Structure 1
Amino acid sequence: MARVDTPSPSGTPPSALPCQEGEDDMCEDQTTAPVQYIFAARDPVHGGASDLEPWVTDGTAEGTHLLLDIVPGTGGSSPSGFTALGDGRAVFTTRDGTDWITDGTAEGTTPLPATLPALTGGSVAALGDGRFLLALDDGMHGTEPVITDFTAAGTRLLADLNPGPDGSAPALFTALGDGRFVFSASDRSPASAPPAGGEGEGVGRELWISDGTAGGTHLLADINPGAASSDPGGITLLGDGRFLFTADDGTHGEEPWISDGTACGTHLLADIQAGAGRSTFGSGFTALGDGRFIVTADDGIHGLEPWITDGTACGTHLLADINPGLLDGVRILTSYLVLEDGRVLMTGDDGIHGLEPWITDGTAEGTRLLADIQAGGADGASVFASAFYTALGDGRALFAASDGLHGREPWVTDGTTGGTQLVMDIHPGEVGSDTLIVGPLAEGRVLLRADDGEHGIELWSTDGTAEGTALVKDIWPGSFSSMALFFTRLTPMDTDAWGA
């Protein structure tokens, strides 16, 4: 029988954060704010068997509820394109084409003015004054960068980068911290020209920069000259005004690049795979917290493996050849989680044990198999599950894995082999609960989506122990699934107790 949380009569108040030795009594008043997510789900009354409505959850039964019955009854509104604004609100679109904004309450969920350009999903950057930079489509210019406060009067086209109805499809908006923003966009217009001037045939998808004004919005660098695209990706701030990204200049293939926000200061960081071969495959960079970053790359000799860079060519090198030779030691989708002690969790395959959790201290000698969860060559941690290592905030991390006996279930690790273990067999037996890690909640808990065989696919939460693992709410009572999906965090990231 699955365990179900019983709401307390007065709800779930925030817990006091532990005081550190030497701190005054004021720290006893510090609290952990709830972490709220918006998602789409169905129940017998709202959405029914064939459709969905927007829901919210903070990981408690009383905090999990229908946000708004947009299409009353079992019709459902099919909400999608949830995009967090970073201030506790999100925008989304319903099946009829209506765009909405919400603060996670029914009263604060309203349709955006019909005169606003249409949401197109993707990234968003806050300007810090209540306005946001994101991609919108006004029906005339195509999808272009727009600055908006989500009122008709406070919405304006930043720049028509690709004149005409096709639009530039901007993406990856990233604030540099000095009032400027970088993003990728495509300008295929014949009249466009690279920074050096002269007529061109468009510049393809390249890196752009803006200070929030039309005059201050321009192509940063035509990395792949002419109409070809460099397809920049993985934009990651170094913290000193520079940023890393991946791009293809048409000569070296897709490789790591670095920029200080100027054309002259934008250059290839390292040609990891010499020649025209691509090394990074759209991989992002993970900050280790000591000025170094880890990235998945293939140098053409060692296969896909973890690499380290400090933002210099000399400081960019192979971390470890997990699977010796040409075979891949990690996968393109592998993510990295930095633990509190600076070590990094990842999923690797040494060619002997299958895909399993690995750990590294940033050196080849300190990179090792953490646990052979499914003994032998079978995969214990799948590529899909490995993208969701989530910190619990106490030095441990949660992930999903299968040991061949229990199916895919939640596992926990403290970074040691002995401390890596099954949390709970939510769906007893080999079938498994098909656990999906959603993200951190308050008070050292993590939100999951799982199927215990009795309640269908529903929301669960865990603190990394069997006793602390519980069904949050059976949204669709019985064995039918609520099919909760499209989870998007509403709560700003800096409100977490441990900064997750």
Structure 2
Amino acid sequence: MKKFWKWRLGFFILVLSLTNPVHSKPIFQTLRNDTKLINKAYLVEDIKSGTESSNPESFMQHGNIAYFSADMGEAYGLWKTDGTTEGTNLVKENLRGPISVNFELVEFVEFNESIYFNGNEQTVNDSQLWKTDGSPEGTIQVFQLDYADPSNFSVVNNLLYFNAGFPFTKLYKTDGVSTILVRDEPLPVNTKFGDTLYYIHCENIDLCELKRFGTISALNFSEISVQNNPLVVFNGFLYFVAKDGEHGSELWRTDGEIEVGLFMDLNPSGDGSPQIIGIGNELLYLNVANQDGNNDLWRTDGTIEGTFKIQLGDYIFDKSLGSINLSTGNQPEGIFLRCKLEGDRYYSICFSDGTLNGTVVLTELNFVRNTSNTSIQRVYEVLENNLYFTKYDKDHGVELWRSDGTPEGTALWLDILPGPASSEPLSYGICGERLCFSVNDFIHGRELWSTDGSIENTQLVMDINKNPGSATPIGLSVDEGEINFVANDDNGNSHLWGIHNNGNKLETVIDDQEIIIDSNNRGNPPFIYLNQHYFYVSQDQNDFNKYRLWSYDQLSDHKWIVQDNETGIINFEFIEYVKSKDKLFFTSYDDSSNDFHIWKSDGTEDGTKIILTIDVEWT
């Protein structure tokens, strides 16, 4: 064992002999005697000082009610809300609804005055088919099958069809009471058109047919190409992608009775391979491959003359974010689209009214900055002809934005946590006549909020998870007019925070590194502020198993691992530090040389030196 106690005693004696330390007043006494600092210090309570998060997610709209899942602390529960506090109630405990994937709406279906969905009891590892009418007694499991994971719901002739099973899914149907196997194969691409279920049946990867359920014949031709496109019902026709040997992969349609055939050859020189993006403003929007191998945005109203290209520069369009349909006002009718330039890191939000001049870029959709859950949760929704979405900028963090479909009408709408701190709105969904979403206000944790589209009526709906869960602020320090402390963010990671600009701005000082709190009880503070430099312990970015003493220059936004520039020695196995007057003294141990180092620093790289090296003896 390395015996350090005598070197620690010598270290503090050396510090006292080299300096004439002036002991400042205790931090709590300082705050108590300075009214100005008391007002600033109250902002510390904004850092997750309330409760744990319930993380409401996966909204399912049914009439004026939305169902969602929430973490209640000991268990998940299925809840319902109309967007008001009094209209928010627990439906069933120990039940979690479907989970959103890639920002999509969760899959569910209305059937026989109930909603049917993919649900999971916390005591069971796989998802099953559940239904609810909004009451605890009306929330029951409909179907039991090992690894069921039901999906692809279609209601046809008072029966619910769905796929279930693993590793090979099969087609089932239910009347809500009994469930039977219909077909020993899945129908991954299917949709209801009229009173008939249409589906894609493939003999092999190159031979697929469009069929109607209940018949064995295909629709007058054999070879079609699905290309992962859904079957889409639009203006009285069922649209799909097909090829007949004469044309490439193009857009076809059927009325379900007589007319079946090619709608339009969008790329006569090859495969148009149209991808149906969405429907808005009574138009069908498509992504179509051109002769150069790129994709163009097209629109159609179902007529040949009403079908043409509306491409915006080199943007790629791949998804609808929702449509708006206004009958009055100056805002255009149209559709919000997700778009992106080749090589861009983030997607943007575009809008189109179906014309070339009316297809515009609104803003970059860089909502992924500083968020941890957006890979699975929906971060946009349309309410009363405005798109609400989550977006990051450096001045406001990740907050709630709104767009009316025009560039000038697209801006930050509500900064729930003023300044660079982020409330991170997630899990958007319509609940009654309101928009519901989850927000972390750092008081209640991540909980359910709603809005009717006005800022004054945007508020917390219910604090579902009331379990205590604090950010645990520690090391509160007032130096040179700066109030700083270390506190956990909503992911449980310790970061250095500061209150600046006369107490009006709360922000992370260093947000890309976690502050390592001294777990060995050596008495180290979580950080030291010296001459506009922060000293703190964090991981070596080249070896996460080792901790280093870092310095951060706030003025130049430069951080570095403390080392002796003359010898190149880094502070291996950092031990402890202490601030004395305008100098920092700290110790480190080099396992490769058995050397115990004592350092002195004025806060700068050039002013950081080893002042004493001792060869440690083994005892």
Please indicate the TM-score interval, normalised by the length of the shorter structure. Answer: 0.5 to 0.7
Q: Report the CA distance shift for 1:69/1:392 in structure 2 as closer, same or farther (over 3 A).
A: closer
Q: Is the 8 A contact 2:277 2:319 kept in 1?
A: no
Whole-angstrom distance in 2 between the partners of 1:408 and 1:255? 41
Give the aligned residue type for 1:471. L
Q: Matched residues in 2 for 1:180 and 1:482: separation?
A: 49
For 1:181, give the aligned amino acid. L
Distance 1:461-1:305 versus aligned 2 partners, 3 A rule: farther
Q: Which residue type is aligned with residue 140 of structure 2?
A: T
| Matches of 1:207 and 1:172, distance apart in 2 | 10
**Structure 2 partner of 1:13:** none
DSSP 3-state at the match of 1:467 = helix
Find the counterpart in structure 1 of residue 212 from structure 2.
209
> Residue 437 of structure 2: which of 432, 445, 448 is its match?
448
Indicate the residue corresponding to 1:235 in structure 2. 231
The TM-score, its normalising length taken from structure 2, stands at 0.53
TM (normalized to structure 1)?
0.65
The corresponding residue for 2:308 is 317
Aligned match of 1:433: 423
Shift of 1:250: 8.3
The CA distance in 2 between the partners of 1:203 and 1:151, in whole Å, is: 39
Deviations 1:115-149 (A, max 9, x none): x89844222222353x2222245x9x963333320
Question: Which whole-Å CA distance do the structure 1 matches of 2:125 and 2:150 have between them?
Answer: 16
Give the CA deviation at 1:424: 1.1
Given that 1:427 and 1:433 are in contact with CA atoms closer than 8 Å, whether structure 2 keeps it comes out as yes
Partner Cα distance (1:452, 1:143) in 2: 42
Within the alignment, does 1:244 sit opposite 2:274 as a pair?
A: no
Cα separation, 1, equivalents of 2:129 and 2:365: 45
Query: 2:382 aligns to what?
Result: 391
- 1:55 matches 2:79: yes
Q: 2:154 aligns with which of 117, 125, 144?
A: 125
**Distance verdict in 2 for CA 1:458–1:441, change over 3 Å:** same
Write out per-residue CA displacement over residues 292-338 of structure 1, whole angstroms, 9 at most, x where no aligned residue.
3112334254844421123355543211x323xxx4x1342343523
Q: 2-side partners of 1:64 and 1:389: how far apart? A: 22
Distance 1:119 1:435 in 2: 32
* Secondary structure of 2:68 counterpart: strand
Contact 1:257 1:268 in 2 (8 A): yes
Could you tell me how far 1:439 is from its partner in structure 2?
2.2
1:335 is aligned, of 321, 329, 351, to 321
- Work out whether 1:269 is the aligned partner of 2:280: no
Deviations 1:177-212 (A, max 9, x none): 2x2121234446xxxxxxxxxxxxx975543212xx
Q: Deviations over 1:260-311 (max 9, x none)?
A: 336971436334384247453xx4331422xx31123342548444211233
Q: Is 1:184 matched with 2:208?
A: no
Between the aligned partners of 2:64 and 2:115, the Cα distance in structure 1 is: 12
> SS where residue 169 of structure 1 aligns?
coil
Q: 1:143 to 1:384 in 2, by over 3 A?
A: closer
Give the equivalent residue in structure 2 for 1:257.
252
Q: Tell me how far 1:362 sits from its aligned partner.
A: 1.5
Cross-structure match for 1:402: 392
CA contact 2:241–2:273 (8 Å) conserved in 1: no
Instruction: Supply the distance in 1 between the matched residues of 2:394 and 2:256 (Cα, whole angstroms).
Output: 49
Selected match of 1:476 from 454, 465, 483 = 465
Give the residue type in structure 2 aligned to 1:358. C
CA distance 1:55–1:347, change in 2 (3 Å): same
The alpha carbon displacement at 1:252 in A equals 6.4
Equivalent residue letter for 1:60? T
Return the match for 2:171 from 145, 158, 173: 145
Q: What is residue 69 of structure 1 aligned with on the other side?
A: 93
In structure 1, what is the Cα distance between the partners aligned to 2:324 and 2:193? 23
Code of the residue aligned with 2:284 in structure 1: it is F
What is the aligned counterpart of 2:281 among 279, 288, 305? 288
- Seen in structure 2, the aligned counterparts of structure 1 residues 251 and 446 have a Cα distance that, compared at 3 Å, is farther
Where does the alignment leave 5 or more consecutive residues of structure 2 unmatched? 1-44, 47-61, 100-106, 328-332, 471-488, 492-619
> Could you tell me whether the CA contact under 8 Å between 1:57 and 1:64 is conserved in 2?
yes
User: 1:108 offset after TM fit, Å?
Assistant: 0.4
- The total of aligned residue pairs comes to 390
Which structure shows the higher strand fraction?
2
> C-alpha separation between the residues in 1 aligned to 2:176 and 2:235?
30
1:134 aligns with 162
Deviations 1:43-102 (A, max 9, x none): 2232xxxxx3433333233433432234xxxxxx66547632354322334334454322
Which has more radius of gyration? 2
**Which whole-Å deviations, capped at 9, do the CAs of 1:196-236 have from their partners, x for residues lacking one?**
xxxxxx975543212xxx4x3554466546xxx63462322
Mapped to 2, the partners of 1:276 and 1:298 lie a distance apart of 7
